[in-house]
Amino acid sequence: MAKLNWGMIGGGEGSQIGPAHRISAAMDGIYTMAAGALDVNAEKGRDYARRLGVPADRAYGDWREMLDGERARADRVDLVTVATPNATHCEITKAFLEAGINVLCEKPMTVTVDQAEDIVATAKKSGSICAVNYGYSGYALVRHMRAMVARGDLGKIRLIKAEFAHGFHADAADLDNPRVRWRYDPAQAGISAQFADCGIHALHMASFVAGQNPSELSADFVSCLEGRALEDDATVNFRMDGGAVLRLWTSSVAIGRMHGLAIQVFGEKGGLRWAQEWPNQLYWTPLNGRTQIMERGGPDLSPEADRASRVTIGHAEGMPLAFANIYADLAEAIAAKKQGRAIDPLADHYPKAIDGLRSIAAIAAAVESARNHGQWTDARPPSLR
Amino acid sequence: MAKLNWGMIGGGEGSQIGPAHRISAAMDGIYTMAAGALDVNAEKGRDYARRLGVPADRAYGDWREMLDGERARADRVDLVTVATPNATHCEITKAFLEAGINVLCEKPMTVTVDQAEDIVATAKKSGSICAVNYGYSGYALVRHMRAMVARGDLGKIRLIKAEFAHGFHADAADLDNPRVRWRYDPAQAGISAQFADCGIHALHMASFVAGQNPSELSADFVSCLEGRALEDDATVNFRMDGGAVLRLWTSSVAIGRMHGLAIQVFGEKGGLRWAQEWPNQLYWTPLNGRTQIMERGGPDLSPEADRASRVTIGHAEGMPLAFANIYADLAEAIAAKKQGRAIDPLADHYPKAIDGLRSIAAIAAAVESARNHGQWTDARPPSLR
Amino acid sequence: MAKLNWGMIGGGEGSQIGPAHRISAAMDGIYTMAAGALDVNAEKGRDYARRLGVPADRAYGDWREMLDGERARADRVDLVTVATPNATHCEITKAFLEAGINVLCEKPMTVTVDQAEDIVATAKKSGSICAVNYGYSGYALVRHMRAMVARGDLGKIRLIKAEFAHGFHADAADLDNPRVRWRYDPAQAGISAQFADCGIHALHMASFVAGQNPSELSADFVSCLEGRALEDDATVNFRMDGGAVLRLWTSSVAIGRMHGLAIQVFGEKGGLRWAQEWPNQLYWTPLNGRTQIMERGGPDLSPEADRASRVTIGHAEGMPLAFANIYADLAEAIAAKKQGRAIDPLADHYPKAIDGLRSIAAIAAAVESARNHGQWTDARPPSLR
Amino acid sequence: MAKLNWGMIGGGEGSQIGPAHRISAAMDGIYTMAAGALDVNAEKGRDYARRLGVPADRAYGDWREMLDGERARADRVDLVTVATPNATHCEITKAFLEAGINVLCEKPMTVTVDQAEDIVATAKKSGSICAVNYGYSGYALVRHMRAMVARGDLGKIRLIKAEFAHGFHADAADLDNPRVRWRYDPAQAGISAQFADCGIHALHMASFVAGQNPSELSADFVSCLEGRALEDDATVNFRMDGGAVLRLWTSSVAIGRMHGLAIQVFGEKGGLRWAQEWPNQLYWTPLNGRTQIMERGGPDLSPEADRASRVTIGHAEGMPLAFANIYADLAEAIAAKKQGRAIDPLADHYPKAIDGLRSIAAIAAAVESARNHGQWTDARPPSLR
């Protein structure tokens, strides 16, 4: 596999998501961190990039400088990861795509549906690859669930339960804590808090595994802590375009729950259960049969799962390896594009701009439904109605 | 503890619930099975009762015969358990209450709200005890959750998640199987299937633990198997009268789930998690603290939990012992009534007719809401509005 | 099933094991507690028995009085449970057996091997039934493991791992606590503490499930708390007479472990795992296949398991129901003896005097081996060499 | 952190351990894979190294060529990982150490005790760093256990239970399968199979966590599959030099067990439980208190655990991140050596040659003890007696 140059925007010193991206991109030895604009503070960003090994002339002060700098180089970055505040995703992503540079954008891809439609259109027009980091979809056993559904092991999917419930915003003493407060402030967070932050991971996973997208939805948003303008807990019921019902719960006040991303999929011929916190086991129950434990790395999984496994059975794999699978998929997608050939179908599982758009449309629809006391609301992006 | 005479109506040979009641009533050596009308087939019922040790003259052919027979006796039964088809609960329960005989009625207590109101009124007027068998509320650690909430360990309750999800009605080949079909036939099952059958257990548990009752609700009912007139899967969102939000899911098509009764309770000061299938552990997370595992039988529980435990820590207790706690509470309630004294407050946790009424009102409201696309609907019984 | 008269010796007010026996014997409605000598203090014992519903003339002051009283009655007890201090088991059990009264003796059956041989011989000569309360062998899924091994599902058994590890004697502050101290005092407890108290449960379970008995053993006993004359932690390696290796660990200083009785069985064709604290699931892995979860009450188990299940799948069953299975087996054994017919083979799984003897011989051998630095020692009872 | 040059010997295409090392070394962006001699087949090794991005002139045909080549360079590798067959570890490791190149050697470090003593002496004399890859000791919560013990949270350690039990060599049909056979062939595997392969991981973990080393041991080795000259299942009891008892079990015939590395540590003041397959939770029970679940990434852990965590709480971390911690420690050790300063104490937790020696001595002692029917045998290396 040819080496690729990689750049990062955002993810500066002290950020949570920055290290996860760097670990995941570095792991397979394909990506070299060649450029970066890591911080809103230009000097801090340059300094940190240099300390991370980025050559001085590619340690940029901001993303515009980086765009200009990279555009001018023959060895310009093959992929840029955008991990800046949500409100800036659209402008940055669009600019790089238009410059012919592939982008992996953090979720949520944009703040408004119009922006998301814009990104999708830009990616299409430019021919650049635009991925969105629903990184949990990179877990080997999540890939395996998708493969099982796709090849018909479950028959028609009837029902999906998806959750993302943690308890880290439950302390009333944190209402004025800057680390927490901005998330529930419409001026900073937009129209939705917990659903836009965590709920869409659960939604994407349901869509990814079931191969179905939301048609309409009914939402119930609540703010469990007084004084919060945005929801810290929500349930959303969906009707999916392939006929399944999706029931989704997300919460940030579920004290004792750590991460809580989990999915259950029920079809005519069997049921599946998986949880992100214990990602190396998948529970599969065929209709009228016993529950079986599928182990990551086992000899009896799909090619999709095998491709996404790095160490032998019984050795735990975790989230950075799931993220690394997104990067590995993108490496193949970029190589295929460069070589003018079709992508290996086993690598074509990374989340794309269209998936990002669908999430943003679902956020807008859920907010509208919640305001209308749960009224059923069209969840599709305008361009896909 | 003085011995009590106990009778049963329904629960004939081959029934599932009959043995559970007999085991649970027998366990503590207080109740003697003194009378019974166990089967719609009078002769079969008499024969089976005699084989179970009921004296021949108290092995009745039907409940009216039993009512007449027992009313005439000095040693008449102290308690009758009604475990007949749902549509008959009201008439039988009412008749026995009016005769001054205490009743433990299976759930759902009645088929209509009017009937349920009638039972509540009858119980009040007659002075007879009327309990409803939400038997899972008898588990020691369920009692402990209730005690923790009542004494303020969790602070104000914000959010409750309750589930009852199994997968035993998921096989399309069973659509015409008589064992399953009647449950989804409005002519036999009434207005609701899965919510009325299982969902109300989850609802009662939420109310029992949180000490709050439903004010209004919004329901989404679906039939995952084609051809079913009644729901086999439902979510219902509640607003409770103490300010909590309750989110409830129930399903009979969740292949791989066995029983699935589980509850999570989140308050200002901590969160609780418990599941019926592994009832001897309770997970408690104080705000900003670590999750702790509370063991049934441990030295650090409440008097409510201690009273409901029979064997030492580390020895599994199961459902029949939970049901036995309902019977033990009733023994104390009956003794107190006989002796004209107040009941031991630790025994006053058995579910009562008013709890049955609240469930029936919630079923009616949920059905109405589901028909109206999730419209928020008053969930209270008319008499309590 | 005909009713039986049951009596108890020991198990007085405040004892742990007394209530477990009464619950378990009462549950199926077969046994009537007709007699008892419940306490070393004659008056307390009589009083408590009467309060438990025993007729005044059968509420005895001690076991000799009870033996005399019952022997003289036509309606004498069909079964006596002996739950007195270990050192008295032999004398009492022998006396009742010789009087033609069947006995369920608590474990350990006796204190010395000679006594145990004596009981076995007495039971044989008298024709009375002598059972030993390895009550955990009554769990439905333990019965199922035994059935799976017996019918060859695992092929030849190679290896068994058995544990019984709790942490309730780990507090150095309890060294002089009378509740704990006697257990490690040779004058009161005999030659072994933890192995004789808990280890033999694990040993019996291994023998019961595998259908093999110990041939020889090597033991390592330690006293983790200074000042203890007897072991509080032990491992014993066995060679079984059917060719399996058994590795057993027992501890009373394993802080955080509650009960810890668990077994793993590995054969040529598959492996099994089960734990007493979560007794309703059994994990079965066929060679080169996936692990499957077997649920108690499921449709796919053996007749042995079905007979030992009382409530439907997904409803937890616990230890008192396992003990109740021992009583149910004994009821059938007693009925068969009375009727002069063979016992139902499905009921012939209760532990017998010969099993008690094998345990006592293993204790003696383990103590000897431990004293000889782990020397391999014959573990068989003298009469079976 | 300054970049380091890294080389690998062994770990060729298709090996299991090679990718794990490359992922783990690459993850933090410190090590550049600068050289390699990856395969016994020189051409294959060179080709694979080049495909992995190693410059052509540093893609060596064998380790001697690599030693000569690197020794001659100013930019020679800072660290070499030795992942060749066990019998070659000693010669290769020694040669690189003597050349002043630091080594991370796979376990078992050598085949004989003499060789292991030789490596320890060579490392000391040369001043080169010699680490041994007990990679599981890199898990954040394993580091935390060690820290808890070291700071006295458990008081004096009484008892350790350690296991490494899998079932992947249980199929009799594999007796002649080359993938399995060599492991039980003394000519290829040496004097021990399962204990030397897996057992010493459990032993190292026990020593690492408890801060104690073996004094003497008694071993029971068995071959569950007929025709195996070496053990596929073993228990070893140890007395540790700090007074603890260690009980260790390892097996390769435990069908249904996947990896099975797990540890329990019991002290005067509490107990710990941890398992490699679910490495993000640690169970801690203080004496007379409730079991608490410690989550990797939580705010309440030790500096040792914090340093070993890369992603936020609730996100699974796995084995490659544990291995990466060994590499990160080594990077600090190498930097400190270069700069002539003391190593950061938080990084000084990587396993060293002395740990490798202790393991080899324990293997030899266990084999001797097993041959002598479990005789207690000195487990210390000769140089440490």
One domain, residues A44 and A63: yes
Q: Which subunits have 3 or more CB–CB pairs within 8 Å of chain D? A: A, B, C
Collect all residues with Cβ–Cβ distance below 8 Å to A173 and sequence separation of at least 6.
none
- Position D262 scores a pLDDT of 98
Q: Considering only CA atoms, which of B269, D140, B158, B270 is closest in space to residue A257?
A: B270
Please check whether residue B197 lies inside any domain of the structure.
yes
User: How many Cβ atoms sit within 10 Å of the Cβ of residue C16?
Assistant: 11
One domain, residues A280 and A165: yes
Do B300 and B294 form a contact (C-beta atoms < 8 A)?
yes
One domain, residues D131 and D143: no
Tokens describing residue B175: 């659509």
**CATH number for position C108:** 3.40.50.720
Complex prediction ipTM? 0.96
Q: pLDDT band at residue D376, thresholds of 50, 70 and 90? A: very high
One domain, residues A130 and A247: no
Please check whether residue C127 lies inside any domain of the structure.
yes
One domain, residues B202 and B282: yes
**CATH number for position C231:** 3.30.360.10
Tens-digit pLDDT profile for residues C234-257: 999 999 999 999 999 999 999 999
Cα distance from N-terminal residue to C-terminal residue, chain B: 40
Report CA Rg, chain B. Answer: 20
Kindly report the nearest CA distance between residue A311 and chain D, in angstroms: 6
Tens-digit pLDDT profile for residues D32-91: 999 999 999 999 999 999 999 999 999 999 999 999 999 999 999 999 999 999 999 999
Do B179 and B16 form a contact (C-beta atoms < 8 A)?
no
Kindly report the nearest CA distance between residue D30 and chain A, in angstroms: 9
Q: Considering only CA atoms, which of B252, B288, B271, B129 is closest in space to residue B209?
A: B271
Tell me: pLDDT of D1 over 90: no
Q: pLDDT band at residue D134, thresholds of 50, 70 and 90? A: very high
Average pLDDT of adjacent 10-residue blocks, chain A of 385 residues: 93 94 96 97 97 96 98 97 96 98 97 98 98 98 98 98 98 94 93 98 98 98 96 98 98 98 98 98 98 97 97 96 98 97 98 98 98 98 96
Domain that holds residue B283: 139-311+357-363
D287 CB neighbours in chain C (<8 A) are 170-171, 255
Q: Considering only CA atoms, which of B83, D374, D114, B289 is closest in space to residue C238?
A: D374
**How many CA atoms does the CB half-sphere of C115 hold within 13 Å?**
19
One domain, residues A74 and A152: no
Report CA Rg, chain A. Answer: 20
Kindly report the nearest CA distance between residue D222 and chain C, in angstroms: 8
User: How many Cβ atoms sit within 10 Å of the Cβ of residue B172?
Assistant: 15
Q: Which of B220, B287, B376 sits opposite A255 (nearest CB)?
A: B287
**Location of structure tokens 């041939």:** C215
What is the C-alpha to C-alpha distance for residues D219 and A230, in angstroms, rounded to an integer?
Answer: 63
Tell the burial category of A226 from Cβ atoms under 10 Å away from its Cβ (0-12, 13-18, 19+). Answer: exposed
Q: Considering only CA atoms, which of B32, B103, B26, B23 is closest in space to residue B63?
A: B103
Tens-digit pLDDT profile for residues B227-255: 999 999 999 999 999 999 999 999 999 99
One domain, residues C175 and C285: yes
| Helix residue ranges per DSSP H, chain A | 17-26, 42-51, 63-71, 89-98, 113-126, 140-150, 178-181, 186-189, 194, 200-210, 303-307, 319-339, 353-371
Model pTM? 0.97
Please check whether residue D229 lies inside any domain of the structure.
yes
Helix (H) or strand (E) holding B208: helix B200-210
Collect all residues with Cβ–Cβ distance below 8 Å to B72 and sequence separation of at least 6.
none
Please check whether residue B319 lies inside any domain of the structure.
no
Tens-digit pLDDT profile for residues C194-222: 999 999 999 999 999 999 999 999 999 99
| Residue C327: C-alpha distances to residues C79, C342, D335 (Å) | 10, 18, 71
Q: pLDDT band at residue C378, thresholds of 50, 70 and 90? A: very high
**Number of B–C residue contacts, CB under 8 Å:** 114
| Helix residue ranges per DSSP H, chain D | 17-26, 42-51, 63-71, 89-98, 113-126, 140-150, 178-181, 186-189, 194, 200-210, 303-307, 319-339, 353-371
| Residue C139: C-alpha distances to residues B23, B81, C274, C349, D14 (Å) | 16, 28, 11, 11, 47
Tens-digit pLDDT profile for residues B71-84: 999 999 999 999 99
Tell the burial category of A72 from Cβ atoms under 10 Å away from its Cβ (0-12, 13-18, 19+). Answer: exposed
Contact D259 A315 (CB under 8 A): yes
The Cα diameter of chain C in Å comes to: 63
What is the C-alpha to C-alpha distance for residues A352 and A93, in angstroms, rounded to an integer?
Answer: 13
Tell me: pLDDT of C329 over 90: yes
Kindly report the nearest CA distance between residue A271 and chain C, in angstroms: 14
- Position C2 scores a pLDDT of 84
Query: Is the peptide bond preceding residue B299 cis, with omega within 30 degrees of 0?
Result: no
Q: Considering only CA atoms, which of A119, A97, A124 is closest in space to residue A108?
A: A119
Please check whether residue D317 lies inside any domain of the structure.
no
Do A133 and A107 form a contact (C-beta atoms < 8 A)?
yes
What is the C-alpha to C-alpha distance for residues D283 and C366, in angstroms, rounded to an integer?
Answer: 32
One domain, residues B183 and B221: yes
What is the C-alpha to C-alpha distance for residues D205 and D260, in angstroms, rounded to an integer?
Answer: 13
Tokens describing residue C172: 């150095």
Contact D298 B290 (CB under 8 A): yes
Interface of C with B in 31-60 (CB under 8 A): 33, 51-53
Q: Considering only CA atoms, which of D304, D25, D36 is closest in space to residue A23?
A: D25
- Position D2 scores a pLDDT of 84
| Residue B20: C-alpha distances to residues B23, C317, C327 (Å) | 5, 11, 17
Angle CA(D351)–CA(D354)–CA(D360) in degrees, nearest 5? 100
Give the chain C residue nearest D234 (alpha carbons).
Answer: C247
Contact A159 B288 (CB under 8 A): no
Please check whether residue D10 lies inside any domain of the structure.
yes
Task: Note whether B295 contacts C: Cβ–Cβ < 8 A.
Answer: yes
Contact A293 C290 (CB under 8 A): yes
Contact B315 C259 (CB under 8 A): yes
Helix (H) or strand (E) holding B6: strand B4-10
Q: What percent of chain D has pLDDT over 90?
A: 99
Tens-digit pLDDT profile for residues A326-353: 999 999 999 999 999 999 999 999 999 9
What domain count does chain C have?
A: 2
Please check whether residue B54 lies inside any domain of the structure.
yes
One domain, residues C144 and C286: yes
C300 CB neighbours in chain A (<8 A) are 290
One domain, residues D67 and D120: yes
Do A33 and A54 form a contact (C-beta atoms < 8 A)?
yes
B144 phi/psi in degrees, rounded to 5: -70, -40
What is the C-alpha to C-alpha distance for residues C93 and C90, in angstroms, rounded to an integer?
Answer: 5
Mean pLDDT of C28-33: 95
Mean pLDDT, all residues of chain C: 97
Task: Note whether A115 contacts B: Cβ–Cβ < 8 A.
Answer: no
Tens-digit pLDDT profile for residues C287-303: 999 999 999 999 999 99
Q: What percent of chain B has pLDDT over 90?
A: 99
Helix (H) or strand (E) holding B165: strand B157-165
Q: For strands A130-132 and A157-165, give the pairing.
A: unpaired
Tell me: pLDDT of C135 over 90: yes
Please check whether residue D231 lies inside any domain of the structure.
yes
Mean pLDDT, all residues of chain B: 97
DSSP secondary structure code for residue B85 in this structure: -
Q: Is the dihedral of CA B232, B235, B239, B244 positive or negative?
A: positive
Give the chain C residue nearest A298 (alpha carbons).
Answer: C290
| Residue A122: C-alpha distances to residues A6, A94, A116, B295 (Å) | 21, 7, 10, 58
Strand partners, D369: none
One domain, residues A17 and A115: yes
Q: pLDDT band at residue B2, thresholds of 50, 70 and 90? A: confident
One domain, residues B17 and B143: no
